[in-house]
Amino acid sequence: MAGDLEQELLQDFLLESREIVDELDQQLVALERNPDDAELLSAIFRGFHTIKGGAGFLDIAPMVTLCHEAEELFNQLRHGDRRVSPELMDASLAALDSVKTMFSTLESARDAEPAPPRVLNALQSLVRAPATQDPTPGRAGTGEAADEAFDALLEDAAAREIGPPASAAPAGEEVDEAEFEAMLDELYGPGVAPGADAASPSPEAREDESGAPAPKADDASPDEESGRPEPAPPARRMAPGDTTIRVNAGRVDELMNLVGELVLARNRLLNLAGSQDNHELVNAVSSLDHIASSLQDNIMHVRMQPVRRVFSRFPRVIRDLARQLGKDVDLVLEGESTELDKNLIEEIADPLVHLLRNAVDHGLEDPQERARIGKPKAGQVRLSASQEGDHILLVIEDDGRGIDPQGLRRSAVGKGLIAEDAAASLSDSEAYDLMFMPGFSTRNEVSDISGRGVGMDVVRTRIAGMNGTVKVDSTPGRGSRFTISLPLTLAILPTMMVGISGNRYALPLNNVREIADLAALRRHRVEKQDSIVLRGQTLPLMDLRASLGHGAGDPHRGQILVLIASNRELAVAVDEVLGQQDVVVKPLGPELSASAGISGSTITGDGSVALILDLDGLVRSFVLEKAA
């Protein structure tokens, strides 16, 4: 029983502390740009102090030792005993990385190992450096000079073999009752422990007349100059009437799977009720349809999480990359409260990292070049999220050199990816699409950042796997914009059902713009390409019947759907359009998982199986075939 309780406390500590670590990552990057921000310094100090308190209670000695050194360093910064410097920021960020490593080790049911001596020695050297030798105040620098300073600091620490200070918490230190109470206040609110009645606060948590919690003397840090205690920060408190429970994510996924099966059953009942002349049955099925839709919406919202979860890691990524490249970069984050399915949040992280790294490496000019052409020394990269209907838009844009479409054409021709005459016929938007071809790169040299001819094709593949799309816009000399469109959830997909040679196929509804009869449209060939004219606009025509191996259909019979896929607008010919339907996405078996143009399967209202089409993959194959 005691073991179960200890494990539960450990999981609570890891969950709560992960949020603190995510905040520390952002706060440290912000501090580097605002070294005199007293609130930031205090927030960072409190973050390390809170983690240290929880780790001490759970007897995680390596974490206690490391966080104590970081806490002491930021306490000195708070009191003006030293100033923010490049080597100080490097040491602090390295310490935070070590804390993250310890968390990962604990989550895998292993004991946390001590921080690398290099990291601990760097912190200790800074803590014990004489105040008269503090670096000059100002913004932390970038490039080789800062790296050399940090290396010199490490060499000095290693030479002196610095040990823990007399005031440091020894390994396995006991946490007294006051520190434990402060930790509980930080995690659960004043006077509310796990499982305790929130309506009965302890005497220590009673509020004064102004509504602020009374400060505790034991939870304050003494001011060395005045000798007066510094008030503890107010702990997080629940708003009146706001209740939450913690539910295992696996259970939410199981609920979503059950809702998916309910949607399939609803679709079958709707199909059966449509063929019956029984009003009571029709009314009952209509009521079930309403309940199932409401249940589906509510379960989907339970799975939604703010994109802040993934955005929070990018300031650190950009900071480290900018230092490595010797560039000055401002990252602007917008729409962090926009919500997305938790599974999509986990999947979109890697594509966003790649696009952001490309924006800094390829997109932004060097500071000297930006100054020469009259741009601000600091380049700007903007990442924003917003909801548009039942989709989320993620936009990555920079104010750099932009993308030269002619350069993309030349590079694709030079690598043998496309014929020269086909490249010349591409529009600029189609030329931008070339960068997503496997093996495409405009870089002549190879680095550990980019230029290996891989990456962008993987980005598109990963996004397409989420039933999403990516669009590129650019203005040479002014910057580039990548727009990613994702469905709110992967579990249930709105589709347009079509019939081809007696088979049913589901097309993601987000791609469909318009439906028309093929016989009513004028059809002709433009540069060996079948096309139609719709309200004066000429659109390339892809016969989906032939593309899926059913043979060319009757050119004068059938229907067309106007689609947006792979950054192109085109018409697709099918035998018939069957109507809209929400479908539950089922994974493909190993025999079909590698099939081009197929992303999944579903069960229709009459119980038959329909394949879900990957329109981006089909269109890319169609364009490459015509260009060959």
Which contiguous run of DSSP H or E holds residue 472?
A: strand 469-475
Confidence of residue 342 (pLDDT cuts 50, 70, 90): confident
Q: Does pLDDT of 502 surpass 60?
A: yes
Residue 499 pairs in a beta bridge with: 504, 576
Confidence of residue 370 (pLDDT cuts 50, 70, 90): very high
Question: What's the pLDDT score for residue 627?
Answer: 59
CA pair distance 259, 254, nearest whole angstrom: 9
The overall average pLDDT reported for the chain is 77
Find how far residue 213's CA is from the centre of its chain: 36
Name the maximum alpha-carbon separation found in the chain. Answer: 92
- For residue 479, which of 392, 352, 376, 350 has the smallest C-alpha distance? 376
Contact 599, 495 (CB under 8 A): no
Confidence of residue 628 (pLDDT cuts 50, 70, 90): low
**């089409």: which residue's tokens?**
613
Could you tell me which CATH class the domain 2-175 is placed in? mainly alpha
367's CB contacts (< 8 A; 6+ apart) are: 326, 327, 328, 377, 378
Query: Can you tell me the mean pLDDT for 513-542?
Result: 83
For the chain, give the percent of residues with pLDDT over 90: 21
Which contiguous run of DSSP H or E holds residue 322?
A: helix 314-325
Question: What's the pLDDT score for residue 199?
Answer: 40
Q: Does pLDDT of 197 surpass 70?
A: no
Question: What's the pLDDT score for residue 341?
Answer: 85
Question: In terms of CATH architecture, what is 492-618?
Answer: Roll (2.30)
Name the token pair of 357: 């790294």
Query: Can you tell me the mean pLDDT for 57-85?
Result: 90
Question: Residues 5-19: pLDDT tens digits?
Answer: 677 788 888 888 888
Tell me the CB-side half-sphere exposure of residue 234, using CA atoms within 13 A: 10
Q: Crossing angle, helix 456-465 and helix 342-358, to 10 degrees?
A: 160
Question: What's the pLDDT score for residue 64?
Answer: 92
234's CB contacts (< 8 A; 6+ apart) are: 212, 213
- For residue 82, which of 27, 20, 131 has the smallest C-alpha distance? 131
Query: Can you tell me the mean pLDDT for 262-283?
Result: 79
Question: Residues 16-52: pLDDT tens digits?
Answer: 888 888 889 889 998 988 888 889 899 999 999 999 9
Question: Residues 210-267: pLDDT tens digits?
Answer: 343 444 434 444 444 444 344 444 334 444 445 667 777 778 878 887 887 888 788 8
Query: Can you tell me the mean pLDDT for 579-591?
Result: 76
CA pair distance 321, 449, nearest whole angstrom: 9
Least confident residue range of 77-81, 374-378, 416-420: 416-420
Query: Can you tell me the mean pLDDT for 388-410?
Result: 90
Q: In 10 A of CB 481, how many CB atoms?
A: 16
Burial class (CB in 10 A: 0-12, 13-18, 19+), 197: exposed
Name the token pair of 143: 């490039």
Beta strand segments in 335-417, E: 339-341, 379-388, 391-398
Least confident residue range of 64-68, 314-318, 419-423, 444-448: 444-448
Question: What's the pLDDT score for residue 481?
Answer: 94
If you ran DSSP here, which 8-state letter would residue 137 be given?
Answer: S
The highest-confidence range among 142-151, 238-247, 582-591, by mean pLDDT, is: 582-591
Question: What's the pLDDT score for residue 26?
Answer: 87
CA pair distance 255, 489, nearest whole angstrom: 14
Question: In terms of CATH architecture, what is 249-305?
Answer: Orthogonal Bundle (1.10)
The pTM score is: 0.66
Least confident residue range of 343-352, 482-491, 529-538, 546-555: 546-555
User: What are the φ/ψ torsions at residue 220 (nearest 5 degrees)?
Assistant: -115, 155
Name the token pair of 130: 């004489």
Name the token pair of 80: 């003006």
Question: Higher-confidence residue: 199 or 387?
Answer: 387
Question: What's the pLDDT score for residue 624?
Answer: 66
- For residue 542, which of 621, 628, 429 has the smallest C-alpha distance? 621
Q: Does pLDDT of 137 surpass 80?
A: no
**Could you write out the DSSP letters of every residue in 453-469?**
S-SHHHHHHHHHHTT-E
Contact 467, 347 (CB under 8 A): no
- For residue 453, which of 461, 467, 443 has the smallest C-alpha distance? 443
Confidence of residue 498 (pLDDT cuts 50, 70, 90): very high
Using CA atoms, how far residue 508 sits from 446, 482, 535, in Å, is 38, 21, 24
For the chain, the first-to-last Cα distance in angstroms comes to 69
For the chain, give the percent of residues with pLDDT over 70: 75
Query: Can you tell me the mean pLDDT for 505-531?
Result: 83
Burial class (CB in 10 A: 0-12, 13-18, 19+), 32: buried
Question: What's the pLDDT score for residue 552?
Answer: 74
Exposure pattern of 575-605 as b/e (b: 16+ CB <10 Å)?
A: bebbeebbbbbeeeeeeeeeeebbbbbbbbb
- For residue 442, which of 415, 477, 474 has the smallest C-alpha distance? 415
SS3 of 396, please? strand
Question: What's the pLDDT score for residue 160?
Answer: 44
Domain ranges of the chain: 2-175, 249-305, 307-487, 492-618
Could you tell me which CATH class the domain 307-487 is placed in? alpha beta
If you ran DSSP here, which 8-state letter would residue 378 be given?
Answer: S
152's CB contacts (< 8 A; 6+ apart) are: none
Name the token pair of 350: 């890697």
Residue 580 pairs in a beta bridge with: 496
CA pair distance 118, 43, nearest whole angstrom: 25
- For residue 122, which of 148, 142, 145, 151 has the smallest C-alpha distance? 151
CA pair distance 613, 601, nearest whole angstrom: 9
Contact 316, 93 (CB under 8 A): yes
Does residue 559 come out as left (phi exceeding 0), alpha (psi in the -120 to 50 range) or beta?
beta
